[in-house]
Every structure is written in structure tokens, then in C-alpha cells.
């Protein structure tokens, strides 16, 4: 019987393959590798989902059943799944395969990090995590992070495209117009912002239940607020004259750096969230 | 220029300053940047620790800038205040024009805007325009809230509009931020945050506050009846549970179990499981060893008891117990803190530390007897966070409104549609265009989809 951790290790490579295929389709401007890339990503996302469900079942078989959203390993696996699903949605909606060039490597990196660095044993829940808010909090946060990850990817495409002065030709010809990229960044940031807001809110309600205060300036809380503030300023900056394109892409970059720091960097700082 | 005009110019400029989006962006980014400080520098720690860590040059600078409690510093509060004023002024500034869009006196459609739209779709049909008009009018009427039909020189225009109210979404988000600020203020003005360690069987009537050295009277007496821990097979903690009683005088009026994530809320006071520790229960054995003869004397004692030392060498008072004693910077673990009172009253009293893990520790002192303590039975104390925050309901309402507001602002559109029908050589030319308040890439797809539906509509009519 295949275990969830073996399945998820395999899925890591499937994401890697999908990333390669998207890059091939982009570089050689061919339809076939593009279609294969889409199919591979669908397989990877489905396998990723099955892996999550399997892990859930395994935790019950070990008598410590809980939703697989309780530690760094499980959250990274879920993060990769969110990125893949969100990207596939974008691809089907806007018929844009080129975003896969930046989105699937992000899913691959998240999964690769789990297999290299993170302990994958299923642990029982410590008292602080025994709450239904855990599920709501983790799901909303990571759906939000996935939105920001895709926005970050699109911003990379923006820089590639605009570094060539928006000229069509060569590698950049398949990248949509900068206005479209700017608009898509905005869309993904709005999506991420809504979910991050709900993520922070569910976290606050949970903290009020577990620790007796809804906000305590704990490093993780503060960094999630920093992320929220950066994206809030991005959303407002678009209303200012002259603030489009490059400046927005820079803010989207900065925002994603804050997301990464909220996620990994905070473990280096002292605080209540550092058990992750 | 007379004075009142000049004053008006000044107030206008101030108003414009506070209403500007530029200010919002600057304040939001400043809040983000400065918030980093408090995550790098531990907040509200011991001044000695700061002095050790940052040295004598940086410490006074950081201290003057309130970096050690920066989220309550005047400059951080000033930024929050600026953001609040900015939100209020800019919302008032824009609300009147938004209001006119949502509740217009006279609905005014400009066909030119639709005719020039890049997203427009055009096709021709064999069906006469009046027949198409009926089908389209009823379809658009079903899907759009407001509908108007206008005649042109060679045809007609059908306009539909919906979702005007969605323009209010952003005001809801701004209102919710104000609610969070108000809720937070109420909490800090009328609430408190305290912490108490209560040993099993003990009770408290007031609780020490966290941020200052004051105590807060509770409206009841709180007693810890029992504290228990359970573990998983792997040894990881599974549950911390305090069984507590609420007393009115001597009478128990409520009993409850408090666990992590399962607090007790009683008379507006919230009690949370926060930490625990063990303390020596009633009695233990004190062992006096004569360093010369090796003779041993045992006595039973408890915290607070005064023990006569053998050979009339004085009195030992067991004063206190600590879970971690620091000896020359090393934590030597659980220890009893005692005081030795000499028999003749001439020599000074001396303090003695008796660590549990190192029974030979006291030999180093070189006293008349080496003292150690054994057979200690332990009980638990529970660490409870005790709070009151009347601002929470307002904050929670803010949470709900911000979620709904963000959803409306980001994903619902104020949408207008226009269908133009023109007769030409017995055929009807159809032009369809959709515009929205925000120009979205999804608009093009939405227009195409609507065009498909309208075309299907006419096919159905032909059948």
C-alpha cells in the first residue's frame, strides 16, 4: 500500500516535470508540450489532493486523527496544492499557459522543500492546536498565500516583458501585454488579500479563544499584518496617478517576500507560533 | 486676498491632504516598515537584558524611541491615528459622488462609451429589429436591475445596469477598520489582562495585571481544585486541564474545567489555561549531615516551617520554593530557599539555597551541617490568563464587515450593458458592449458569453 509521503514525493517530481514542459512550450513556442504541461499539472494537483486525503486517513489509522494541516510539512503540501489549483483556474479562464512557467516551479519548490528539509511523520495535536479554528485558519491563510504566489509569478513575467521594452519577439512574444499582466497581478492580489484577511481574522478569533487576546503583537501576527499592509498599499497605489505596472510589480514582489518571511522567517524569532 | 478666503484655502488644502490616497499609501507602508522593529527586538523585556544586548550606546537611543514597547509608542499611535483620520476624511470626501452614482436623479446613458468599447461584439441577424428588441429587452430585464430603451435615428438602444450598490463595498471596508480601532480602544481603556498562578486547593480574589504592577479585584473568588496533564503514547502533551470553582464568599456557585482552547467565561471575565508548574506539597524530609562525623539527622518540614537544627546550632526557616534557581548564571533547577537563624543571635542570619537535583550542593558552604531535602511530594499549580475585554464584540462585527466588504469590493461589479439594434437592407445589425466601474480582463469574456446567450435566444425564437 502506497503511503501518503511516498505519493507526495512522487508528486514533487510530477510538478518538476510540469514546470519543464511549460518552459519547453514557452521557449519552443509549441502547442504539444503546452498541452502535456497542462495535463501533467492536472495529474500533479490530483495526486497532491489524494496525498492529502491519504495522510488524513493514515492519521486516523494511527489513532491520532486530525486534518493534515498541523505542521510545516502539511502546510507546505497544502500550499503547493493551492498554487496548482489556482494556476489551473487562471489557465482555463484566460487561456494563458505562460503563467505556468512561473507558477508550477513555485509548487515544485514548495514540495521539494518538504522532501529535503521537513519531517513528515504524523504527530498528534498538541493542546494549543486542538481547535476547529485550526482548519479554517490554515486553509484561508494558504489559499491567500497561493494567490500572492501566483501574483508574484506574474510580476516576474512583468519584469521579463518590460525589460525588453514591451517589444514583441523572442521569448517575450508569448507573454501577454504588460497591461494584462498588471491587471492579472491586481486580480490575484485581491483574491489573496480577501483570503489573507479572513486568515488573520480566523487566527484572531482562535487566539482569543486559546490565549485570551485576539491580537498580541506576536512576531507571526505582526508579520501577517505587515504582509496585509503591503498588499493594502498596493491596492490603494493603483488608485494613484502614475502607479501602475512597474511600481505595482515591485510592491507585489515586496509583499511576497513578506509572505515568505511570515511563513519561514518568523520561526527564527521568538513567539507563540514558533512551534511550527 | 481677504482673510476668510485665505483660511478657506488653508482648510481646503488640509482636507485634500487628509483625503489623499497618497497619504494612505505612505502611512500603510510606514506602518509595515516600522512594525518590523518590534518583531526583531523582543518587546517589554527586562531593561538589564536590553542593556546587555545592545550596549551602552544603542540602549539609550532605542529606549528614547520606545523601541522596547514600540506598538504602544507615541509615534506608532500617531501613525495609526493618521490612518484613521485618512480613512474618515477620504471616505466622506468620496461618498457624495458615489452616492450620486448609486442613487441618480436621472438615469443617463451615453451610447458613445459603449460604441467605442474594445470589448464590444457585433453580429447581424435576419430577424426584424422589433422582434429582437422584445426578446432582448426581456432577457436583459431579467438579468439587470435597471433597464431603459431609447430610440435612435435608425434603430434603438437597450441599456441595462446592475450592481450600483456594490460601490459601497469599499466604504464598508473602511468602516470596519474604524470599528477595529474603536474596539481596540475600548479594550485598552476598559479591559484588563492579568495572569495568576494558583496552586491546587488555593484561591484568589484579585489578579496581578500584566502591563503594570497593579492588582485587579475580581467579582468572585476563583479556586483551583485540581490540575492535570495527560500525554500521548509518544510522550507529547495531550491535554492540560484545570478544574476550578467560582465562589461567592464560601459558597460554590459554579464549577468548570478549563482547557487550552476551551476557556471559562463568567460574568464578563475570561479565564484561559496558559501554563502550569509543580510545587512541593505539604511535607518533605530535611536531612542534616554532620560533615565531620557523617552523622545524619532527619526532620519533617513544609514550606514556612521553622526547624530547630541539631545540637542547638540555630533555626532553619523554609521560606520558599523556586522552579529554577540561577547559580552564577547557571540554572540549577528546582530549589528551596531557606534562611538560617543562628542560635546566639549574635551572628547574622544567612540565606541558603538547597537545590533538589544536587543533594551535595550545600556541602560547598562549609557550615555546621550540610543540608539537603528529599522525599518531596509535588502538587501542581495552574497558570491562568484572566482577562476582560468589552471591545471584543465591536471588533468581531468589524471582522464580519471587512470580510463582506472586501468580497463586494473585489468580486462584485457595477455593470452596464448596451445593445444597439440598427436596421440595414432588411437585416438587423446588433452591437453589444458591457462596461464596468473597474476595467477588468474578465469583462471581455463576460461580453462574449452574453453575446452567445443573446444569439441562442434568437435561434430559439426561429424554431
pLDDT in tens, A131-158: 999 999 999 999 999 999 999 999 999 9
Q: In sequence order, what are the beta bridge partners of B245?
A: B223, B255
Q: Determine the pLDDT at residue B442.
A: 66
Does the pLDDT at position A168 exceed 60? no
Does the pLDDT at position B77 exceed 90? yes
Do residues B275 and B389 both lie within one domain? yes
Map grid coordinates 450620486 to a residue. B100
Residues of A in contact with B24 (CB under 8 A): 233, 236
Do residues B218 and B272 both lie within one domain? yes
Closest Cβ opposite residue B406 in set A187, A194, A210: A194
Do residues B93 and B233 both lie within one domain? no
Per-residue pLDDT of A211-241, as tens digits, reads 889 998 988 999 999 999 999 999 999 877 7
Indicate yes or no: CB of A239 within 8 angstroms of CB of B396.
Answer: no
Phi, psi of B312 (to 5 degrees): 50, 45
Is B434 within a domain?
yes
Pairwise pLDDT comparison (A276 vs B296), residue with the higher score: B296
Q: What is the rounded CA–CA span in Å between residue A253 and residue B291?
A: 71
Closest Cβ opposite residue B387 in set A194, A212, A269: A212
Do residues B306 and B352 both lie within one domain? yes
Do residues B229 and B196 both lie within one domain? yes
Fold of A1-125: 1.20.120
Residues of A in contact with B238 (CB under 8 A): 124, 127
Which of B53, B72, B97 terminates a domain? The answer is B97
Map grid coordinates 469599499 to a residue. B170
Indicate yes or no: CB of B260 within 8 angstroms of CB of A127.
Answer: yes
Residue B149 belongs to domain with CATH number:
3.30.310.10
Indicate yes or no: CB of B403 within 8 angstroms of CB of A127.
Answer: no
Is B406 within a domain?
no
- Give helix A72-94 / helix A4-28 axis angle, nearest 10°: 40
Phi, psi of B164 (to 5 degrees): -55, -40
Burial of B151 (C-beta count, 10 Å sphere; 0-12/13-18/19+): exposed
Give me the mean pLDDT over the B406-416 stretch. Answer: 90
Q: Which domain holds residue B150?
A: 111-163+413-462
Is B91 within a domain?
yes
Q: How far is A139 from chain B (nearest CA, A)?
A: 16
Residues of B in contact with A270 (CB under 8 A): 42
Residue B349's contacts (CB-CB under 8 Å, 6 or more residues apart) are B339, B340, B341, B342
C-alpha distances out from residue A265 to A128, A199, A258, B181, Å: 21, 18, 9, 28
Does the pLDDT at position A10 exceed 50? yes
Residue A230's closest chain B neighbor by CA?
Answer: B29
Average confidence score pLDDT of chain A: 89
Is B41 within a domain?
yes
Closest Cβ opposite residue B232 in set A64, A213, A239: A64
Indicate yes or no: CB of A217 within 8 angstroms of CB of B234.
Answer: no
Interface test with B, best of A191, A204, A214 (most B CBs within 10 A): A214
Does the pLDDT at position B135 exceed 50? yes
Residue B383's closest chain A neighbor by CA?
Answer: A211
Residues of A in contact with B260 (CB under 8 A): 127-128, 130, 210
Q: What is the rounded CA–CA span in Å between residue B127 and residue A219?
A: 67
Do residues B156 and B29 both lie within one domain? no
pLDDT > 90: what percent of chain B?
41
Map grid coordinates 518587546 to a residue. B43
Q: What is the rounded CA–CA span in Å between residue B132 and residue B154?
A: 15
Phi, psi of B286 (to 5 degrees): -105, 135
Indicate yes or no: CB of A130 within 8 angstroms of CB of B441.
Answer: no
- Give helix A31-61 / helix A4-28 axis angle, nearest 10°: 170
Q: What ipTM does this complex have?
A: 0.91
Do residues B240 and B386 both lie within one domain? yes
Residues of B in contact with A217 (CB under 8 A): 38, 43, 71
Does the pLDDT at position B3 exceed 80? no
3-state secondary structure of A196: helix
pLDDT band at B463 (very low <50, low <70, confident <90, very high): very low
Q: How does A70-81 read in b/e, with b if 16+ C-beta sit within 10 Å?
A: bbbbbbbbbbbb
Does the pLDDT at position B181 exceed 80? yes
Indicate yes or no: CB of A124 within 8 angstroms of CB of B272.
Answer: no
Q: Determine the pLDDT at residue A274.
A: 41
Indicate yes or no: CB of A219 within 8 angstroms of CB of B31.
Answer: no
Map grid coordinates 482673510 to a residue. B3
Indicate yes or no: CB of B261 within 8 angstroms of CB of A128.
Answer: yes
Question: pTM for the complete prediction?
Answer: 0.86
Cβ atoms of A135 and A67 closer than 8 Å:
yes
Residues of A in contact with B262 (CB under 8 A): 209
Is B231 within a domain?
yes
Question: How big is the CA angle at B366 (ends B360 and B371), to the nearest 5 degrees?
Answer: 45
Ranked by mean pLDDT, the top range of B3-12, B29-38, B139-148 is B29-38
Q: What is the rounded CA–CA span in Å between residue B288 and residue B367?
A: 11
Q: How many residues does chain A have?
A: 276
C-alpha cell at B394: 465591536
Residue B403's closest chain A neighbor by CA?
Answer: A198
Q: What is the rounded CA–CA span in Å between residue A144 and residue A135?
A: 14
Pairwise pLDDT comparison (B435 vs B256), residue with the higher score: B256
- How many contacts, defined by CB atoms under 8 Å, are there between A and B? 123
Question: How big is the CA angle at B336 (ends B333 and B340), to the nearest 5 degrees?
Answer: 140
Residue B73's contacts (CB-CB under 8 Å, 6 or more residues apart) are B65, B66, B67
pLDDT band at A275 (very low <50, low <70, confident <90, very high): very low
Question: How big is the CA angle at B22 (ends B20 and B23), to the nearest 5 degrees?
Answer: 75
Burial of B451 (C-beta count, 10 Å sphere; 0-12/13-18/19+): buried
Do residues B393 and B249 both lie within one domain? yes
Do residues B186 and B245 both lie within one domain? yes
Indicate yes or no: CB of A266 within 8 angstroms of CB of B396.
Answer: no
Q: How far is A70 from chain B (nearest CA, A)?
A: 15
Q: How far is B236 from chain A (nearest CA, A)?
A: 7
Closest Cβ opposite residue B410 in set A130, A184, A194: A194
Do residues B185 and B250 both lie within one domain? yes
Pairwise pLDDT comparison (B279 vs A251), residue with the higher score: A251
Q: Determine the pLDDT at residue B46.
A: 82
Q: What is the rounded CA–CA span in Å between residue B149 and residue B141?
A: 11
Does the pLDDT at position B32 exceed 70? yes
Residues of B in contact with A210 (CB under 8 A): 260-261, 272
Per-residue pLDDT of B300-337, as tens digits, reads 888 888 888 888 888 888 888 887 888 887 888 888 88
Indicate yes or no: CB of B238 within 8 angstroms of CB of A124.
Answer: yes
Q: Determine the pLDDT at residue A230.
A: 97
Is B173 within a domain?
no
pLDDT > 70: what percent of chain B?
96
pLDDT band at A276 (very low <50, low <70, confident <90, very high): very low
Ranked by mean pLDDT, the top range of A270-274, B118-122, B250-254, B362-366 is B250-254
DSSP 8-class letter at B349:
P
Does the pLDDT at position B117 exceed 90? no
Does the pLDDT at position B374 exceed 80? yes
Task: Please state which of the ranges A141-145, A170-174, B242-246, B374-378 shows the lowest mean pLDDT.
Answer: A170-174
Do residues B346 and B225 both lie within one domain? no
Indicate yes or no: CB of B403 within 8 angstroms of CB of A194.
Answer: yes
Per the structure, the count of domains in chain B is 4
Indicate yes or no: CB of B35 within 8 angstroms of CB of A193.
Answer: no
Give me the mean pLDDT over the B82-88 stretch. Answer: 96
Cβ atoms of B63 and B50 closer than 8 Å:
yes
Per-residue pLDDT of A117-130, as tens digits, reads 778 888 888 888 88
Is B105 within a domain?
no
Do residues B84 and B132 both lie within one domain? no
Is B145 within a domain?
yes
Closest Cβ opposite residue A219 in set B24, B39, B440: B39
Q: How would DSSP label each residue in B265-325?
A: EETTEEEEEEEEEEEE-S-EEEEEE-TTT--EEEEEE-TT-EEEPGGG--EEEEEEEES--
Pairwise pLDDT comparison (B352 vs A243), residue with the higher score: B352
Amino acid at each position: 500500500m502506497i503511503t501518503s509521503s511516498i505519493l507526495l514525493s512522487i508528486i514533487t517530481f510530477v510538478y518538476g516535470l510540469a514546470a519543464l514542459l511549460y518552459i519547453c512550450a514557452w521557449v519552443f513556442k509549441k502547442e504539444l508540450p503546452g498541452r502535456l504541461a497542462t495535463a501533467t499539472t492536472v495529474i500533479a494537483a490530483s495526486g497532491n489532493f489524494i496525498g492529502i486525503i491519504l495522510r488524513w486517513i493514515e492519521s486516523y489509522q494511527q489513532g491520532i486523527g486530525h486534518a493534515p494541516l498541523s505542521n510545516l510539512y502539511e502546510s507546505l503540501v497544502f500550499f503547493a496544492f493551492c498554487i496548482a489549483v489556482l494556476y489551473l483556474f487562471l489557465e482555463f479562464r484566460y487561456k494563458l499557459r505562460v503563467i505556468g512557467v512561473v507558477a508550477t516551479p513555485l509548487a515544485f519548490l514548495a514540495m521539494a522543500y518538504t522532501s529535503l528539509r521537513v519531517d513528515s511523520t504524523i504527530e498528534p495535536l498538541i493542546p494549543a492546536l486542538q481547535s476547529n479554528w485550526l482548519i479554517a485558519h490554515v486553509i484561508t491563510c494558504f489559499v491567500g498565500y497561493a494567490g500572492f504566489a501566483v501574483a508574484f509569478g506574474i510580476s516576474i513575467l512583468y519584469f521579463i516583458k518590460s525589460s525588453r521594452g514591451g517589444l514583441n519577439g523572442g521569448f517575450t512574444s508569448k507573454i501577454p501585454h504588460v497591461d494584462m499582466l498588471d491587471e492579472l497581478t491586481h486580480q490575484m492580489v485581491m483574491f489573496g488579500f480577501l483570503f489573507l484577511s479572513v486568515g488573520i481574522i480566523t487566527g484572531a478569533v482562535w487566539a482569543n479563544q486559546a490565549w485570551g487576546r485576539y491580537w498580541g503583537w506576536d512576531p507571526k501576527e505582526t508579520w501577517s499584518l505587515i504582509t496585509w499592509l503591503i498588499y493594502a498599499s498596493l491596492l490603494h497605489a493603483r488608485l494613484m496617478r502614475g502607479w501602475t505596472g512597474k511600481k505595482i510589480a515591485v510592491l507585489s514582489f515586496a509583499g511576497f517576500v513578506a509572505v515568505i518571511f511570515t511563513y519561514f522567517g518568523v520561526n527564527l524569532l521568538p513567539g507563540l507560533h514558533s512551534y511550527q | 486676498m481677504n482673510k476668510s478666503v485665505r483660511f478657506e484655502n488653508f482648510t481646503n488644502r488640509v482636507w485634500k491632504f487628509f483625503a489623499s490616497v497618497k497619504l494612505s499609501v505612505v502611512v500603510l507602508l510606514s506602518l509595515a516598515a516600522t512594525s518590523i522593529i518590534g518583531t526583531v527586538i523582543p518587546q517589554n523585556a527586562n531593561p538589564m537584558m536590553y542593556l546587555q544586548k545592545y550596549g551602552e550606546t544603542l540602549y539609550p537611543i532605542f529606549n528614547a524611541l520606545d523601541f522596547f514597547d514600540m506598538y504602544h509608542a507615541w509615534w506608532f499611535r500617531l501613525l495609526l491615528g493618521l490612518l484613521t483620520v485618512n480613512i474618515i476624511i477620504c471616505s466622506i470626501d468620496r461618498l457624495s459622488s458615489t452616492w450620486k452614482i448609486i442613487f441618480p436623479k436621472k438615469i443617463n446613458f451615453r451610447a458613445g462609451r459603449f460604441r467605442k468599447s474594445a470589448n464590444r461584439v457585433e453580429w447581424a441577424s435576419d430577424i426584424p429589429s422589433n422582434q429582437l428588441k422584445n426578446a432582448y429587452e426581456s432577457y436583459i430585464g431579467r438579468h439587470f436591475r435597471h433597464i431603459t430603451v431609447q430610440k435612435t435615428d435608425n434603430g434603438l438602444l437597450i441599456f441595462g445596469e446592475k450592481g450600483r450598490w456594490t460601490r459601497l463595498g469599499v466604504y464598508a471596508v473602511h468602516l470596519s477598520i474604524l470599528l477595529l480601532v474603536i474596539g481596540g480602544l475600548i479594550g485598552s481603556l476598559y479591559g484588563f489582562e492579568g495572569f495568576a498562578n494558583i496552586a491546587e486547593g488555593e484561591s484568589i480574589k484579585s489578579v496581578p495585571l500584566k502591563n503594570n504592577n497593579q492588582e485587579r479585584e475580581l467579582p468572585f473568588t476563583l479556586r483551583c481544585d485540581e490540575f492535570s496533564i495527560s500525554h500521548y503514547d509518544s510522550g507529547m502533551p495531550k491535554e492540560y486541564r484545570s478544574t476550578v470553582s467560582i465562589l461567592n464568599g464560601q459558597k460554590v456557585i459554579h464549577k468548570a474545567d478549563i482547557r487550552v482552547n476551551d476557556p471559562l467565561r463568567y460574568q464578563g471575565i475570561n479565564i484561559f489555561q496558559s501554563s502550569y508548574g509543580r510545587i512541593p506539597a505539604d511535607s518533605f524530609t530535611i536531612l542534616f549531615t554532620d560533615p565531620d562525623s557523617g552523622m545524619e539527622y532527619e526532620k519533617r518540614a513544609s514550606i514556612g516551617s521553622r526547624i530547630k537544627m541539631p545540637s542547638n546550632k540555630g533555626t532553619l526557616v523554609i521560606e520558599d520554593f523556586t522552579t529554577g534557581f540561577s547559580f552564577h548564571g547557571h540554572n540549577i533547577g528546582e530549589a528551596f530557599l531557606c534562611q538560617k537563624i543562628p542560635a546566639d543571635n549574635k551572628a547574622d542570619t544567612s540565606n541558603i539555597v538547597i537545590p533538589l537535583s544536587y543533594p551535595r550542593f550545600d556541602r560547598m558552604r562549609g557550615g555546621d551541617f550540610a543540608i539537603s531535602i528529599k522525599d518531596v511530594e509535588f502538587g501542581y499549580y495552574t497558570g491562568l490568563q484572566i482577562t476582560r475585554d468589552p471591545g471584543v464584540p465591536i471588533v468581531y462585527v468589524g471582522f464580519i464587515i471587512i470580510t463582506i466588504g472586501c468580497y463586494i469590493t473585489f468580486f462584485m461589479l457595477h455593470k452596464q450593458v448596451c445593445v444597439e439594434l440598427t436596421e440595414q437592407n432588411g437585416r438587423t445589425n446588433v452591437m453589444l458592449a458591457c462596461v464596468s466601474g473597474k476595467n477588468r480582463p474578465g469583462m471581455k469574456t463576460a461580453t462574449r458569453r452574453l453575446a452567445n446567450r443573446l444569439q441562442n435566444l434568437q435561434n430559439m425564437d426561429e424554431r
